[in-house]
Amino acid sequence: MVKVKTYYVCQSCGAKSFKWQGQCFECGQWNSFVEEAPAQKVSGLKSGINNGEIVKILNLGQIKTKTHHRDKTEILELDRVLGGGIVPGSVVLVAGEPGIGKSTLLTQLAINNTYNNSKIGRDILYVCGEESPHQIKRRIERLVLKEKQKRNQNLQFLPETNIENIVTTVTSLKIPPKLIIIDSIQTLWTQRLTGAAGSVGQVRECSNILLNIAKKTNIPIFLIGHVTKEGAIAGPKVLEHVVDTVLYLEGDRQHDFRILRTSKNRFGPTDEVGVFQMTDRGMKDVLNPADLFLQEDKQAVPKPGSAVICSVQGIRPMLVEIQALVVSTQLAMPRRVASGINQKKLQVLTAVLQKTLSLPLYQQDVFVNVAGGLKLQEPAIDLGLCLAIASSLKNKPLPKNAVCIGEVGLLGEIRKVSFMDKRVKEAKKLGYKTIIGEKENDLRQVLKYLN
């Protein structure tokens, strides 16, 4: 095979070089050179702009809308995030930190469909680049009971990382697979480029090849991708533009819950969230997140410093407990320590409580934690956070079966939040009768719940 000569292009200004440069000699950007293969010249065409073909132009009335057929994954939370199931010919990128459960989730996808003999489950090809087939089989033996393992014989493995070999193998099969899983995209490499597997050029080129295969054969492809220390998907940003759906698997490895979010979906909504619980049998669907984040006895007496809030993750309301501890400080400058919420939000709301309600927090250390390890960022948690701090300072609990919903402004006003009706409905469905913030519009009015 003739080796294609490549060159390096700066992704900022487009400068070209025949060898890699640490800093661009044109614009001065660091680490911006990416290896690229030159475009192949097609023989038999004359130079000029009149070499193309006439393409038919369609009017809007001539275009017929199509309803995308979806195949169920047999995983309820994954179907929810995908918009109802897998669209044939789609490319889905599943990203997350190492060890968060990406391979486990997609292994369960393959197991469930081969076991249940669903429409996509008769032949599934698992391209294992990071692990050997023996390692994946041991994982399957851990996830699946022995009496069910005999039903998963249609799951096929391809231990290969060269993209040309993978494409040739897939296209040569008499019966094409119904689903392809790539674990992971950072391990694939192409012979067209000289860079190592996982480099920007290799990831971009391999993802484009897989995209063409998915569209031509109508086979859905799942890609596993890693993230950097900053939380972004490793590789070029174009990888997120190429695929049809981008899913992020998040969670703290010290806790057993995982949250699957979608940041891009061409065939469904981007505001759905799936919740899983990591067990020794793999990822388990959590249909009622309150059971996971509210591990308390509703019959027990409420404790000072605890407040239940209703947070919306995507369009899904979840009841979560916020805990606050206020103690006398021994330092010249009191501490404000937050876990699960933004540190600056805690400082701002502490100042609002001190100014509006005249609470002596300037002599107190304030520690705040979101029970269960969940990270919250939306403004609807402000009221619950303020009441948890005031409850701990006054050593008086909030009323039993009360939930706090509302945004707190700098002047102490309580503002309404989005999806208010949905939050109230979810709280009342779970037995919370008192909705703090539904009728009040000022922090001074909610102090009556601490008397």
Q: Tell me which amino acid residue 306 is.
A: S
pLDDT in tens, 163-215: 999 999 998 988 888 899 999 898 999 988 877 788 778 888 899 999 999 99
Q: 346 vs 50, 319, 349, CA distance in Å? A: 64, 20, 5
Average of pLDDT values for 316-342? 92
User: Alpha-carbon distance 293 to 26, whole Å?
Assistant: 53
Q: Are 405 and 442 in contact (CB under 8 A)?
A: no
**pLDDT averaged over every residue in the chain:** 85
Beta strand residue intervals within 188-335, DSSP E: 221-226, 245-250, 257-265, 273-279, 282-285, 306-313, 316-328
Confidence of residue 372 (pLDDT cuts 50, 70, 90): confident
Predicted pLDDT of residue 118 = 47
Predicted pLDDT of residue 120 = 46
| Percentage of the chain exceeding pLDDT 90 | 42
Confidence of residue 117 (pLDDT cuts 50, 70, 90): very low
Predicted pLDDT of residue 145 = 59
pLDDT in tens, 308-324: 999 998 788 989 999 99
Predicted pLDDT of residue 296 = 57
Tell me how crowded residue 139 is: count the other CB atoms within 10 A of its CB.
16
* Nearest CA among 414, 395, 227 for reference residue 326: 395
Average of pLDDT values for 100-110? 91
* CA angle, residues 149, 155, 156, in degrees to nearest 5: 135
User: Alpha-carbon distance 260 to 281, whole Å?
Assistant: 18
Q: Which of 24-38, 174-188, 287-301, 406-420 is the least confident region?
A: 287-301
Residue owning tokens 């900053």? 230
Q: Are 178 and 124 in contact (CB under 8 A)?
A: yes
- What is the spatial order of strands in the sheet that 7-10 belongs to? 16-17, 7-10, 33-36
Phi, psi at 438, each rounded to 5°: -75, -35
Q: Are 256 and 372 in contact (CB under 8 A)?
A: no
pLDDT in tens, 48-103: 555 668 888 888 888 877 777 888 888 999 999 998 899 999 999 999 888 889 99
List the CATH code of the domain at 292-450: 3.30.230.10
Whether this prediction's pTM lies above 0.85 is answered by: no
Q: 415 vs 249, 385, 418, 423, 443, CA distance in Å? A: 32, 14, 10, 15, 10
Confidence of residue 114 (pLDDT cuts 50, 70, 90): low
71, containing H or E segment: none
Confidence of residue 4 (pLDDT cuts 50, 70, 90): low
CATH for 76-287, options being 3.40.50.720, 3.50.50.60, 3.40.50.970, 3.40.50.300: 3.40.50.300
Average of pLDDT values for 384-405? 94
